[in-house]
Structure 1
């Protein structure tokens, strides 16, 4: 019997979201139904509502979630009802060339549930990032569920499902930040602040936060930034160089996804330094850099997919650090809200008033 639940639906580009009845099918082979306990309001959900991802409306929004497994389908192993899990949007296949080379965090054939969730009239829904967790229950591929310690509150644990993991992973996994490194992070929203936190955790000696909003720069200090630069009033490249003895930072993380900030990151790194792009650009953006500068500066230009994380490895480790009071994930939670307050949360996020609003169910 399908489950009837309430979920947040985006019916059309730019339209206000609505809470509607959603039908969740029983899990099929390789699938699981999860009772959602909490789900963060991520900027990606707003991108879906604005048609910035694709036009496969209507969308069941929400993807940054933690919950408890309700049921599993045939063939599922290593997961059972009652397991406390964080959801991820990249269930690895284990068979593609990346997985077979021992690099499953690059899996080229990630997958989601095969069945569709629907509205009460049978209209098929497109779940955000293959999850759709602004709902009381959702259907996912079993590989999208990662078991973690139940002692971690769901409103904190769920944040690892997207933005916080993307930022921490951009610093540690992609950027390879290590003890004594100098790091600059351009863009101090949730992902940028997570990159700052990850750099601090890795032992960076100097962490420079760059943004146009003094309020966000103050938040960045709370996550470990040692210096801040407001790029409305100062040239960020010159400021970063001045703060690093004229050399530039060892690792510069771009967490905005814009051409101008990427160029700032490129020129603000030290020779043979690393640039990490974790901000998500839009399809029309193009980058023009002198090829001689690319050659002459050496180093690495990297893109970070989901923080190059492997959920089965990274989620339990980070939750363990949180439970040891070594990783203040709770600082990301600006407020907890009800399911019918997502539209208001989008407005607060757009105005830069919150790092994360989190829906509690």
Structure 2
């Protein structure tokens, strides 16, 4: 039978979110109902509320989540009721040209649940990133569920569902950071600090955090930065070069996603170095630079989608590293809140006062 549970929705552009009753259908073929244990408050959810993704209101917000499989539909073999899972928003198809070429992290046909959750009056909801986890329970495709160690704190595990995986993967997977490398990260929110943690995990010896907020720079140092630069007081490019023997960093990660920060990343890297864009630009942003500079500096210019991760490979491994004390995921959890605190958490996040607020259910 369909279930009526609580969920946080964005009913219209810019309006405050609402905690209301929603209806979760029984899982159909390849679908799973998950009882949510914890869900991080990500900037992407705020972007949905502001109409920055699309206009398919009302949205069921929340996507950075972990929970327990409650029921499964026909044909589901990868998980079963009782499994503890982290949800992901890029369930690969295995059949598209990217998957068949051995590059499933670029899958062009990712899966979501076929059925829609609704309001009690039957209005269909658009789940954020195909998940919708600011709710007691949600309906997802089975491929969006990755089993991990059930003894881990759900508030920590859920962070892999978006921001932490995006940043950490930008360093390790996309940027290919290795032992002895120098790395600079521009923007030290949750994604940027995850890139710093990833660079440290990969063995980088010089890890430079760049931001305009001393509080964020302190968080970055706590997560592995060896040097910090306040870009409000110093020229970021010059400062990075000075900290890397005058050459620039081997890998520079732009976790902001603005033309200005991307240009800083471009010029702050060493010759033949790598730039990784993981911050998400808006459609109106434009970049104008001398084409000769691209040719003359060589190297790689990359964009990172969800940290180029493969959830089945990366999530269990990262949880194991956390449990070994090698990856301090718990440091990203600034506060634990309830479902009716999401709107307040948006304001706190926008003010830069937290790395992550996490809804506990």
TM over 0.5: same fold? Answer: yes
CA deviations on 1:189-241 (whole Å, 9 max, x unpaired) are 00000000000000001000000000000000000000000000100000000
Aligned partner of residue 354 in structure 1, secondary structure: coil
Q: Give the match for residue 187 of structure 2.
A: 187
Q: How does 1:163-312 map to 2 (within 5 A)?
A: 163-312=163-312
Question: 1:330 deviation in Å?
Answer: 0.2
SS, match of residue 185 in structure 2: strand
Quote the offset at 1:288 in angstroms: 1.1
Q: Which residue of 1 aligns with 2:100?
A: 100
* 1:84 CA drift (Å): 0.3
User: What is the distance in 2 between the residues matched to 1:169 and 1:96?
Assistant: 22
Matched with 1:15 is: 15
SS at match of 1:16: coil
Consecutive unaligned residues of structure 2, counting only runs of 5 or more, are: none
Give 2:113's aligned residue: 113
Instruction: Show CA shifts across 1:120-154 (max 9, x none).
Output: 00000000000000000000000000000001110
Q: Deviations over 1:306-325 (max 9, x none)?
A: 00000000000000001111
1:79 aligns with 2:79: yes
Partner in structure 2 of residue 126 of structure 1: 126
| Helix, strand or coil at the partner of 2:336 | strand
1:48-98: per-residue Cα shift (whole Å, max 9, x none)? 011111111100000000000011100111210000000000110000111
- Aligned-partner SS, 2:307: helix
Q: Corresponding residue for 1:156? A: 156
Counterpart-to-counterpart distance in 1, 2:202 and 2:344: 36
Q: CA deviation at 1:111?
A: 1.5
SS of the residue aligned with 1:108? coil
**Structure 1, unaligned runs of 5 or more:** none
Q: Find the residue that maps to 2:246 and give its secondary structure.
A: coil
The answer to whether the 8 A contact 2:5-2:135 is kept is yes
Tell me, what secondary structure is at the counterpart of 2:334?
A: strand
Q: Deviations over 1:265-295 (max 9, x none)?
A: 0000000000000000000111112110001
Distance 2:89 2:187 in 1: 23
Query: Paired residue for 2:59?
Result: 59
Q: Please give the alpha-carbon distance, in whole angstroms, between the structure 1 residues aligned to 2:281 and 2:78.
A: 36
Q: CA deviation at 1:33?
A: 0.4
CA distance in 2, matches of 1:63, 1:11: 17
Q: What is residue 40 of structure 1 aligned with on the other side?
A: 40
The Cα shift of 1:349 comes to 0.3
Count of residue correspondences: 361
SS at match of 1:23: strand
Deviation at 1:4, TM superposition (A): 0.5
Show the counterpart of 1:3: 3
> 1:100 deviation in Å?
0.9
Query: In the alignment, is the contact (CA less than 8 A) between 2:78 and 2:142 conserved in 1?
Result: no
CA distance in 1, matches of 2:292, 2:326: 43
Over the residues paired in the alignment, what is the CA RMSD in angstroms?
0.5
- Please tell me whether residue 315 in structure 1 is matched to residue 335 in structure 2: no
In 2, distance between residues paired with 1:289 and 1:71?
Answer: 53
Distance apart, 1:346 and its partner CA: 0.4
How far did 1:103 drift? 1.3
Structure 1 residue 176: deviation in Å?
0.1
Q: Distance in 2 between matches of 1:178 and 1:279?
A: 22
3-state SS of 2:219 partner: helix
Structure 1 residue ranges (4+ consecutive) displaced by more than 3 angstroms after TM superposition: none
Secondary structure at 2:261's aligned position in 1? Answer: helix
Q: Secondary structure at the match of 2:70?
A: strand
Instruction: Name the SS of the counterpart of 1:225 in structure 2.
Output: coil
Q: Secondary structure at the match of 2:194?
A: helix
